Structure 1
């Protein structure tokens, strides 16, 4: 099923002389997006406002369920919870350094639309998720282009600006620390991280500054701590937007020394670490398996079970999997996808439908030791797109990213690939991935 506004947009795009197929050139020239080095889909995606906001409500409700899992399933025993998620002792010590507290609602849920409804792939409970820079800036730039603005007005199009929501969340987080002045926010990458992600985070910086934030991008090693207060180039920092990961800290010989002063400053109320490392207790994909596993159904209310069944594909952990589950995985290869617990961006993902049987069998066996999850495949609906060079309509498929902050739903964007060209849709996972803005009606 193709979205009805998509059909109208493509119909107008196919008219002789229509400016719509090349309208994304306006976005490419936008000053706020000039630092980003990726590529855009030649049209935005469209969704009914009521549908995406209802799914956002489901994501937020699921956030509350997931962050209650240690208490519900393990009696508050974080050691047992981490063991179930295959989080080793070193990582557990880092993640729970601040006591294992519940993180603020902040992240990006990833989902597919299967033609009937959205299906959740990952909850994305993390502050290091990307895309918030473009999610609001792309539709804003489109609406400043006269030909698109005219189409948008006729069809009642709008959007939720992710950048505005994130800027508000960060300003609110820093208010108690800044002592009446405007808070200073530093987005911090891991050691050496800006070599790969500078263009992404500098684009985000420009968007945040556009909303009045005193916002800076650096690496964790750039901080100093006079009097225990973090400073960046002599400037006091009130909020640290954490974009360094557990793996980056664990992988650096000085990682523990770099992050410990940040933890102490957060504990002393000198800075707000947004979000704390505890987010990684719940970003782990094995959390989805705990939700989906029928052995835990009695731990959820009837309404929560209905929510889980509605939005989440069948998901199981292969940690200590029994013979029945392993046999099912081997037999139903073309319906399943394997995902490592702690990675993101498509790293380590193995799609059964593109993998020879013997190779799949070996991957399933290895996943038992690694504690990966297996999930039922969701086939994303077709997103027909007019090729601006040929004028032909081509089928693409999209992974949607839904952002949320402590204030609730915070907008969306999407990544798209030519239909069935890649089993993983993501900028870091596949070179032909394109980014698309999202507008609602």
Structure 2
């Protein structure tokens, strides 16, 4: 049975009198490890084919490896030339250099993708520990499985999920082992100053979920820690691993940013406290990297298999900066002519900030957006139309169409599960929880070819 047929069967059983499937979203909302998060939840999970999602995850891992090889392949190992092409300014670059810009980032993050009805397409890689959603994804799925009616549905349809937080715990244990002396590492999730006020719910959600997976984690802000004896401390507790949620911009742009980061920098250089993940992750999470991969004119060092992989999962994406705007009139004309097929994204921003949707603007507004945003550095990307997800409103009984942005998590061990952010289909071209009052989260279950169901390992051997 295909994922679409599973969804259709779910909706049919959802309408059956006496079914407890309509209680799933309420149960998820009241789940203990999710109570710090006040967001909404879709009335049903989403379904994908396990083979399809695992194959995409394998492609993604290879693409991230290719992405991280770009300085050598395209710029002869010249990181200065690479960062210039990405549009990383001097102050942000100084932060990366101080913390070791030559440190290769581990493949750890959350890729954002749409399913166009035929296959998944990659929108962003979100490489680095600041990419969120791990705990939400883990606990939404776990909570959904606690509803008896859904557990039965999952068993009959061989539905499973991977628990992302367990993959995080394993990655942190392995990473922290050199400084943990045979015990679990002491991990601290560090927000920037004021971060707990703005994102405290998410931090507590992450802490609660990680503890439920067997690994404790402290939560603090950058100003709460100090360096002593070559290691970072929170009070009298030595921190083995920092799980950062802040980015180079915050260090570079605040007047006392360097003072706040100084204890971490000293401990990092001394080696007593490890940093998961390095700031070099932000260099490779820059959207301009996807444009460098997508453009055939820049692929002279790629083999045919790599080119096919890129074209298979990455939509047409092109770099647009001040130099391109001034010299490549053909590309600019193409972007103007294809307005209704394209979306503009600022290279170093996330969360839908700075996105301009071509099919929702007029010609004059689109032209201004291309000209103005090029000064900061941006990419233009082919529109991917999400397939409609049919969901029953339990109050009205009506079937509604929703659009989903899937978040696929990955660690050095590979695919680590996922979830989705969803919005009603008629509410705009950017799927963002921050930008839509009706936006919510959804569990994602995969249908296995094997007779298994429920939680499954991130890496399976058959």
TM bracket, shorter-chain basis: over 0.9
Helix, strand or coil for the counterpart of 2:266?
helix
Deviation at 1:2, TM superposition (A): 7.1
Per-residue CA shift, 1:236-271, capped at 9, x if unaligned?
100100101122222322111222332332232211
Residues in 1 aligned to 2:183 and 2:23: alpha-carbon distance in whole angstroms: 44
Query: Is this contact kept in 2: 1:22–1:388, CA < 8 A?
Result: no
Give 1:398-437 correspondences, 5 Å limit. 398-437=404-443
Residues in 2 aligned to 1:82 and 1:369: alpha-carbon distance in whole angstroms: 15
Residues in 2 aligned to 1:270 and 1:243: alpha-carbon distance in whole angstroms: 20
Deviation at 1:431, TM superposition (A): 2.7
Helix, strand or coil for the counterpart of 1:22?
helix
Does residue 19 of structure 2 align to residue 18 of structure 1?
yes
Residues in 2 aligned to 1:99 and 1:372: alpha-carbon distance in whole angstroms: 22
Residues in 1 aligned to 2:270 and 2:303: alpha-carbon distance in whole angstroms: 38
Residues in 2 aligned to 1:3 and 1:96: alpha-carbon distance in whole angstroms: 48
Residues in 1 aligned to 2:290 and 2:155: alpha-carbon distance in whole angstroms: 40
Query: Is this contact kept in 1: 2:207–2:216, CA < 8 A?
Result: no
Helix, strand or coil for the counterpart of 2:441?
strand
2:148 alignment counterpart:
146
Deviation at 1:390, TM superposition (A): 0.9
When the two structures are superposed, what TM-score results if normalisation uses the length of structure 1?
0.98
Does residue 388 of structure 2 align to residue 387 of structure 1?
no
Helix, strand or coil for the counterpart of 1:370?
coil
2:42 alignment counterpart:
41
Residue of structure 2 aligned with 1:396, choices 388, 392, 402: 402
**Gap regions ≥5 residues in structure 1:** none
Does residue 59 of structure 2 align to residue 58 of structure 1?
yes
**CA 422–234 in structure 1, closer or farther in 2 if over 3 Å, else same:** farther
Residue of structure 1 aligned with 2:263, choices 261, 264, 268: 261
Residues in 1 aligned to 2:22 and 2:424: alpha-carbon distance in whole angstroms: 17
Residues in 2 aligned to 1:43 and 1:27: alpha-carbon distance in whole angstroms: 11
> Which one is further off, 285-294 or 361-370?
361-370
Query: Is this contact kept in 1: 2:390–2:399, CA < 8 A?
Result: yes
**Gap regions ≥5 residues in structure 2:** 448-462
Q: CA RMSD in A?
A: 1.3
Residues in 2 aligned to 1:180 and 1:407: alpha-carbon distance in whole angstroms: 21
When the two structures are superposed, what TM-score results if normalisation uses the length of structure 2?
0.93
Residue of structure 2 aligned with 1:222, choices 216, 221, 224: 224
1:291 alignment counterpart:
293
**CA 429–251 in structure 1, closer or farther in 2 if over 3 Å, else same:** farther
Residues in 2 aligned to 1:416 and 1:273: alpha-carbon distance in whole angstroms: 32
2:175 alignment counterpart:
173
Residues in 2 aligned to 1:99 and 1:362: alpha-carbon distance in whole angstroms: 35
Helix, strand or coil for the counterpart of 1:212?
coil
Residues in 1 aligned to 2:320 and 2:62: alpha-carbon distance in whole angstroms: 26
Deviation at 1:22, TM superposition (A): 2.8
Query: Is this contact kept in 2: 1:228–1:261, CA < 8 A?
Result: no
Per-residue CA shift, 1:132-159, capped at 9, x if unaligned?
0011111111111111111111111110
2:454 alignment counterpart:
none
Per-residue CA shift, 1:400-434, capped at 9, x if unaligned?
00001111110010000000312111222333211
Query: Is this contact kept in 1: 2:267–2:273, CA < 8 A?
Result: yes
1:83 alignment counterpart:
84
2:72 alignment counterpart:
71
Q: How many residues align?
A: 441
Residues in 2 aligned to 1:74 and 1:429: alpha-carbon distance in whole angstroms: 37
Does residue 32 of structure 2 align to residue 31 of structure 1?
yes
